[in-house]
């Protein structure tokens, strides 16, 4: 049987992914779409390439996500003022509403996760997870 930190991290990641998918399902938004919406809502005009780097998405995946969010009326893209090849993203009012509703759903999940974490270890776990996320792949 798999054991150790790698296995625990993999299983926790899978459980988290499934829980987020279920939390967002009523909104018809995937976790990746929600992540992109959050970044764009927090930084209007951000480039699609920057969002892809932040969320560690491939250009092909980012293209599909943007197309799907545009189809839902949640996102618009504009060409950068100085470089027409750069696509800048902005959330529409529909996108902002989706993002707010999604945040409420995900925050309820985050509270359940936090309740399962030993309070004395929470800060150290968060620091470690941020370091793991920052590892170059």
Q: Where does the pLDDT of residue 85 fall: very low under 50, low under 70, confident under 90, or very high at 90 and above?
A: confident
Which residues 6+ apart lie within 8 Å of 26 measured at CB? 105
Query: Could you give the CA distance from residue 106 to residue 24 in angstroms, rounded to a whole number?
Result: 8
Q: Give burial (CB, 10 Å; 0-12/13-18/19+) of 71.
A: exposed
Note whether 89 and 47 are within 8 A (CB).
yes
Q: How much is the average pLDDT of 95-114?
A: 92
Structural domain boundaries of the chain?
A: 5-109
Query: Could you give the CA distance from residue 97 to residue 41 in angstroms, rounded to a whole number?
Result: 10
Q: Where does the pLDDT of residue 3 fall: very low under 50, low under 70, confident under 90, or very high at 90 and above?
A: low
CATH 3.40.50.150 fits 5-109, yes or no: no
Q: How much is the average pLDDT of 78-91?
A: 84
């Amino acid at each position: 049987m798999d054991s150790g930190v790698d296995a625990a991290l993999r299983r926790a990641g899978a459980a988290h992914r499934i829980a987020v998918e279920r939390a967002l399902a009523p909104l018809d938004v995937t976790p990746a779409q929600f992540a992109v919406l959050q970044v764009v809502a927090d930084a209007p005009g951000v480039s699609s390439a920057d969002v892809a780097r932040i969320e560690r998405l491939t250009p092909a995946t980012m293209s599909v996500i943007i197309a799907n969010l545009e189809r839902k009326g949640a996102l618009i893209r504009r060409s950068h003022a100085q470089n027409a090849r750069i696509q800048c993203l902005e959330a529409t009012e529909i996108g902002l509403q989706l993002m707010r509703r999604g945040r409420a759903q995900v925050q309820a999940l985050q509270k359940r996760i936090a309740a399962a974490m030993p309070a004395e270890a929470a800060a150290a776990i968060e620091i470690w997870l941020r370091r793991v996320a920052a590892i170059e792949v």
